[in-house]
A and B are shown apart, each in its own frame.
Chain A
């Protein structure tokens, strides 16, 4: 019983916190950007209201679409949610962890992206096809970057599950792992920006369909479907933030409940940092995004090679 209390319960609580606070995190990001722009900004809870409002609305489906279009929001949300259960929040164990779980996480995220892109093509809309095409392009380039980064962690820690990797990393001497952690944060940071359609890759607040990536793919979704998609996007952002927190978290030996709090605080810090990046950068031209991803790839390879120096 005590074992359940010390390991499983904190994991479940941190998962519940992710489900509960992911929309708050988006509010925090919006608030950060608003403050930079000199505005007061929307209330932190605004995203909850948006999602609940959407849940209460009726759906409108295009006559062109098929079952894939209706399935995609559900699959996107379910895959992200289940993937999230395998990602540790900093020092706290993930609810489910086993050797090789990182590949299942990557696979589930890819499944969500795959069906979202198909749903975009299902509408027959040129705009959504354009969005799907860009998503496919950047997603394909990012896949090896993400995997090499995690492989570098695997090599550094000798572990092969995300939870074990993070915990082992926190037990290592922070000064000696620094040469690996710095390029790793760069690579995973770019992965965060690309996967979650943030500036400088994609502008989630733009009003021109021709310049969008993620938003234009979901142009025809509305009502509960759009609520699911928005929530899935928030959870995915939490997932990538949790990975970043796990890599940069400097402390290990605190009581387990304290590390839950530290994890959530870490997510808030990452979110504010992303808000600062978004506010201080212009969006890249689409043609230059592959360069950014290749740069992240180079950083991940550097991190991987430098793991050999740490021992």
Chain B
């Protein structure tokens, strides 16, 4: 069977699972079973198809007659599509397993049928987006993909913040879709055929400037990917959805924005160098602002959502260097930059899904996502804590996990960049390396804060003290992602050469040209693997030494040293906000954190309190006033709408007269 057929069967099974679980919504257990079986089967078959397409590096094409005259339904599968299908199927499959277990106690409610329906609709439409080969199919799939999460965000529709989140999400995603509509019309040489094959061949015939097309793509796809300042919907929407759905949205759906940009780059051919600078600037600002906002959060899912903005920034930094290298003809820079960006797409889908599932488990067992109410969960939820730690170390880019591998590629692209002769390339390479370093350091601080306040120390509230480990299905989902993070990290030297296949599709160059820089990086990673093996041996040896020493002098258990003060309570612990305070204070001009407190005064102080909230300044200070102004303008236009038929007849007549004069 052709890989494309397998992928289509996978997508079909997703749809079937969604429809079935909706139809069986009155029988909770059956709906759950349909979702579980359909989701896993679809994922396995789809992964098989995508994997086969990546291995053969061939292109598969399917044209079906469309319903409208002269239109065809054009689908295709090349290495680039197959590459982006991997996170779609893997993420959706594993998150389904987790979700079946996660929704078990909601089984009696009818809303789980609806949740599964839109969950699978989202997964299937993402699959369709990657294999669409004409503008119409793409836009329809895109719109389905954009709308189905809306209903997932509205899972708890009785909550006002869920409705607000859904509203912001819908506005953001439709503003993006508007740009895409224009983009696909302008891409077409004669505005008649929307088939991708005509886009690619019409580079010279095109009248529109390619830079305009690129800008439209960045705006349209960037609002989905979450580029700052188009990211405002992410921290609202992702926390509102059920956790397996947030994993799919944050882990996979935002990558479709990256897919779109990469696909448009492939269609446009050799880029301008300035596009690369634009991507580097967007990547640096998204990456740094994303992590800075994350540091100021004390809701676990909001924090993770801001880290998605950060990681999209890292991916974009890689793509930016790739575009600069492509425009300049610097092969090594181009290959390593694109390879790092693309691999980070996969890596982020693994660790971010893992972290969202971990947040879901925490929510499931404590009933809260508020960091300041947690603590000490690692003793009661060892599997969740352990897998969350793997995800945290991976997202920070620590060796030997997968995040390190993709960041290593981008760093090496930076080194390749400073080795060139062009000043602009050298400066952009330095900006990339410096921002990546800063992002890594701040992300480290943020995940020490998150993991430390949630899982370590002692419980700060009763609900955290009574937490329990989650069910087997949920643990299994998290463990699969954690193992994948470790495997990609250790197997970096084997994974990196595989990136040649999607790269050839993007830059239309021979694999023989693309492979050497990848193999060189893989060689380095091979040596690094032996270094990690040595690290493991040293760890074991030191552990042995300490165990031997402990035999002579057994360890004693006591209370934490409180500098001689014995009466201690969990409230003396450092909180998440106080941990991040030195950094957020430095950046208070950017963050504009609102703080309100009642200080302790006099010798016998009464209760004091402290409250801080970090609003998203892009939303509150830029976009909200902007939209308010637009709404005020729109009010004025309302004069035209009087609701009297006579007036509308007049409008029609005027329009006709105008048209006749204009088209004369």
Contacts of A111 in B (CB 8 A): 393, 398-399
The answer to the question of A253 belonging to the interface, with a C-beta cut-off of 8 Å to chain B, is: no
Contacts of B574 in A (CB 8 A): 121, 126, 128-130, 132-133
The answer to the question of B319 belonging to the interface, with a C-beta cut-off of 8 Å to chain A, is: no
The answer to the question of A141 belonging to the interface, with a C-beta cut-off of 8 Å to chain B, is: yes
The answer for the CA separation of A144 and B538 in the assembled complex, in Å, is 29
Chain A, residues 114-144, CB within 8 Å of chain B (1/0): the string is 1001100111111111101110110111111
Interface size on B, residues (CB 8 A): 86
- B437, A154: Cβ atoms under 8 Å? no
Q: Which residues A173-187 have CB closer than 8 A to chain B? A: none
Contacts of A160 in B (CB 8 A): 412, 415
Instruction: Find the residue from A56, A75, A151 having the highest chain B CB count within 10 A.
Output: A151
Interface size on A, residues (CB 8 A): 80
- B550, A59: Cβ atoms under 8 Å? yes
- A108, B542: Cβ atoms under 8 Å? no
Q: Tell me the nearest residue of chain B to A67, going by C-beta.
A: B378
Known: A100-B521, A110-B396. A148 touches B441 (CB 8 A): no
Contacts of B408 in A (CB 8 A): 100, 103-104, 107
- A151, B433: Cβ atoms under 8 Å? yes
- A132, B452: Cβ atoms under 8 Å? yes
- A104, B528: Cβ atoms under 8 Å? yes
Determine how close the nearest CB of chain B comes to the CB of A106; give it in whole angstroms.
8
* A-B residue pair count with CB separations less than 8 angstroms: 253
The answer for the CA separation of A219 and B559 in the assembled complex, in Å, is 13
- B396, A136: Cβ atoms under 8 Å? no
The answer to the question of B164 belonging to the interface, with a C-beta cut-off of 8 Å to chain A, is: no
Known: A107-B398, A117-B448, A123-B457. A129 touches B582 (CB 8 A): no
- B418, A148: Cβ atoms under 8 Å? no
The answer for the CA separation of A61 and B557 in the assembled complex, in Å, is 5
The answer to the question of B434 belonging to the interface, with a C-beta cut-off of 8 Å to chain A, is: yes
Q: Tell me the nearest residue of chain B to A104, going by C-beta.
A: B528
Determine how close the nearest CB of chain A comes to the CB of B432; give it in whole angstroms.
10
The answer to the question of B556 belonging to the interface, with a C-beta cut-off of 8 Å to chain A, is: yes
The answer for the CA separation of A123 and B378 in the assembled complex, in Å, is 12
The answer for the CA separation of A132 and B442 in the assembled complex, in Å, is 13
- A124, B457: Cβ atoms under 8 Å? yes
The answer, among A65, A66, A151, A225, for a CB contact under 8 Å with B415, is: A151
The stretch of B306-314, B462-470, B560-568 that contacts the partner chain:
B560-568
Q: Which residues B392-421 have CB closer than 8 A to chain A? A: 393, 396-399, 404, 407-408, 411-412, 414-415, 418-419
- B433, A148: Cβ atoms under 8 Å? yes
The answer for the CA separation of A141 and B291 in the assembled complex, in Å, is 13
The answer for the CA separation of A122 and B563 in the assembled complex, in Å, is 17
- B398, A136: Cβ atoms under 8 Å? no
Determine how close the nearest CB of chain A comes to the CB of B317; give it in whole angstroms.
13
- B550, A96: Cβ atoms under 8 Å? no
Contacts of B550 in A (CB 8 A): 58-59, 224
Chain B at the A interface: mostly helix, strand, loop or mixed? helix
Q: Which residues A53-98 have CB closer than 8 A to chain B? A: 55-68, 74-75, 77-79, 81-82, 85-86, 96, 98
The answer, among B423, B435, B447, for a CB contact under 8 Å with A308, is: B423
Determine how close the nearest CB of chain A comes to the CB of B347; give it in whole angstroms.
14
Determine how close the nearest CB of chain A comes to the CB of B371; give it in whole angstroms.
12
Determine how close the nearest CB of chain B comes to the CB of A47; give it in whole angstroms.
19
- B561, A104: Cβ atoms under 8 Å? no
Chain B, residues 559-592, CB within 8 Å of chain A (1/0): the string is 1111100000010111000111111001000000
Determine how close the nearest CB of chain B comes to the CB of A93; give it in whole angstroms.
14
- A134, B430: Cβ atoms under 8 Å? no
Contacts of B558 in A (CB 8 A): 60-63
The answer to the question of B453 belonging to the interface, with a C-beta cut-off of 8 Å to chain A, is: yes
- B445, A136: Cβ atoms under 8 Å? yes
Contacts of A155 in B (CB 8 A): 418-419, 426
The answer, among B426, B521, B554, B560, for a CB contact under 8 Å with A123, is: B560
Determine how close the nearest CB of chain A comes to the CB of B661; give it in whole angstroms.
61
The answer to the question of B494 belonging to the interface, with a C-beta cut-off of 8 Å to chain A, is: no
Known: A100-B408, A103-B411, A137-B445. A59 touches B573 (CB 8 A): no
- A126, B573: Cβ atoms under 8 Å? yes
Known: A132-B579, A160-B415. A62 touches B561 (CB 8 A): yes
The answer for the CA separation of A126 and B441 in the assembled complex, in Å, is 22
The answer for the CA separation of A127 and B550 in the assembled complex, in Å, is 27
Q: Which residues A280-311 have CB closer than 8 A to chain B? A: 286, 290, 301, 304, 308
Contacts of A215 in B (CB 8 A): none
Determine how close the nearest CB of chain A comes to the CB of B450; give it in whole angstroms.
10
The answer for the CA separation of A79 and B537 in the assembled complex, in Å, is 11
Q: Tell me the nearest residue of chain B to A113, going by C-beta.
A: B444
The answer to the question of A192 belonging to the interface, with a C-beta cut-off of 8 Å to chain B, is: no
Interface CB pairs A-B, < 8 A, 10: A62-B557, A62-B559, A82-B531, A110-B444, A118-B389, A126-B573, A137-B582, A140-B438, A154-B415, A209-B563
- A-side interface residues toward B, CB under 8 Å? 55-68, 74-75, 77-79, 81-82, 85-86, 96, 98-101, 103-104, 106-108, 110-111, 113-114, 117-118, 121-130, 132-134, 136-137, 139-144, 146-148, 151, 154-155, 158, 160, 209, 219-220, 223-225, 228, 286, 290, 301, 304, 308
The 4 closest A-B pairs by CB, nearest first: A129-B574, A58-B553, A140-B441, A121-B452
Known A103-B407, A304-B430; 7 more pairs at CB < 8 Å: A86-B531, A96-B530, A98-B527, A99-B412, A111-B393, A114-B448, A134-B582
